[in-house]
Amino acid sequence: MFKDKHMVRKKKYNKRDIAHELGDVLSEARTLTGIIGIIFGFLLATTFSAQHLTSNETILLTAALVCSILSLGIFSLPILYHHLEFPYPDMKKFVRRFHRFIILGFIPFILTFLFAIYLALERLAEGHGYVGVILIAIILIIVYKMRKMKVPK
């Protein structure tokens, strides 16, 4: 029947599993750092090449740049933390902390993505760029909700 949250057995990890998970998290952080670095480069190039930006577009471009820098910093934290604290006294604690860094970094990452999509679609859609952002946000929410759905066999 229903299990009390205190009665649920936690999965036991051995050192090899934790080390493998730590390697996965570090490789995710490296990948996400590269992706957000490329997005930041495009946004920075846009600030120098864009002409006749409205005040709203300038504000959104600045917000996207700030969010991308913030995301880049947060995604870099697991790598820096790994190098600063390498002989780990408690490996599970470090893996949990790395996961939290990655999850926290997705907030400014998604904001950067949505701001950039809005800026790209605003001129193409003649003032209706928000429709594209709303559609993409809805798709992201649906995919997030579907991640735990079981696929029938």
DSSP string, 79-141: HHHHHHS-S-S-HHHHHHHHHHHHHHHHHHHHHHHHHHHHHHHHHHTTS-HHHHHHHHHHHHH
> What is residue 15's predicted lDDT score, i.e. its pLDDT?
64
Q: Of the candidates 115, 122, 117, which has an alpha carbon nearest to the alpha carbon of residue 62?
A: 115
pLDDT band of 7, cuts 50, 70, 90: very low
pLDDT tens digits, residue range 97-109? 888 888 888 899 9
The yes-or-no verdict on residue 13 having pLDDT over 60 is no
Tell me, what DSSP letter sits at residue 14?
-
The yes-or-no verdict on residue 2 having pLDDT over 60 is no
The yes-or-no verdict on residue 57 having pLDDT over 70 is yes
Tokens of 94: 């470090």
> What is residue 80's predicted lDDT score, i.e. its pLDDT?
80
The yes-or-no verdict on residue 9 having pLDDT over 70 is no
DSSP per residue, 125-153: TTS-HHHHHHHHHHHHHHHHHHTTPPPP-
